[in-house]
Structure 1
């Protein structure tokens, strides 16, 4: 299992050069769906990051079979201890069953050195399948969290470039 996932953002020439200069790494280039021409280079090698400016996550758990060549979604939340227990239980339940149609894999992550920030990373065949799943599952978070002014959640979606 991958123990950490890191990423960096930048222009296509710079990210492509990083990818070319590191052929031993599993570096994958993505384009943001909600902000065109915002590119992300994802390192799924599980090795220590090579990026100077990075975002890094430690893997808590994983389910499914990875396919990084489609659509991926990151849903980040900041949770207190009790919310983490609920979140982790729901993710573990999801991972213990067959994954939804179109989902290749699911990762439960926490921000590097910040256990309070949890990220749900999922890989999919298409954005349509993700949207259908998201509508059927209220982000695995109780609705009361969304009504709490201190609750933070952010979603970022990307499509594979090369």
Structure 2
């Protein structure tokens, strides 16, 4: 299993040039769903990064078959030690029982060397599949976490950017 996923953010033109300069990598350029003009370049190769400003995520576990050409979700949670144990058990149960409809793969990650910052990266058929699962299931974020004023979570959604010619 690969040990890391690396991303970087920036201008579409610059990120497209980085992607074009490294055709041996399967770098994927994404556009934020919620913010027009916000782009991310994702490297899932597991190799040493080619990014000048990388954001590293350590892979804790993986399930499913990746499909990097569709919708992806990043859900970040800040968990204390006890919450991490409960969360890890939920993720393991989800991996064992099968991924939700429309989900191709799921990564349990932590922000590089910060185990309290947990990230679930999901590759999906579509945003609607993600929303249906998120709103109809307590498997991922239990109600007691969502209702707590001390609980921090953040979600970000991306779709593949339309390819443009680089010169």
The two structures have a TM-score, normalised by structure 2, of 0.92
Q: What SS is found at the alignment partner of 1:36?
A: coil
The Cα shift of 1:138 comes to 3.5
The number of residues matched between the two structures is 162
Gap change, CA 1:101 and 1:59, over 3 Å in 2 = same
- Consecutive aligned runs of 4 or more in structure 1 exceeding 6 Å deviation: none
RMSD value, Cα: 1.2
2:28 aligns with 28
Deviation of the 1:113 alpha carbon: 1.1
Residue ranges of structure 1 left out of the alignment (5+ in a row): none
Equivalent positions of 1:3-152 (< 5 A) are 3-138=3-138, 140-152=140-152
Separation in structure 1 between the aligned mates of residue 5 and residue 17 of structure 2, nearest angstrom: 20
Most deviating of 24-33 and 141-150: 141-150
> 1:148, CA displacement in angstroms?
2.9
Q: Which structure 2 residue ranges, 5 or more long, are not aligned?
A: none
**CA apart distance, 1:24:** 1.8
Q: Is the Cα contact below 8 Å between 2:5 and 2:45 reproduced in 1?
A: yes
What secondary structure is seen at the aligned counterpart in 2 of 1:153?
A: strand
C-alpha contact 2:28 2:43 (8 A) present in aligned 1: yes
SS state of the match for residue 40, structure 1? strand
Cα deviation, residue 139, structure 1: 6.1
What is the rounded CA distance, in whole Å, between the counterparts of 1:153 and 1:71 in structure 2?
20
User: Aligned equivalents of 1:118 and 1:156: distance in 2?
Assistant: 14
Q: CA deviation at 1:61?
A: 0.3
String of CA shifts for 1:43-79, please: whole Å, max 9, x gaps. Answer: 0101122212121100000000000000000000110
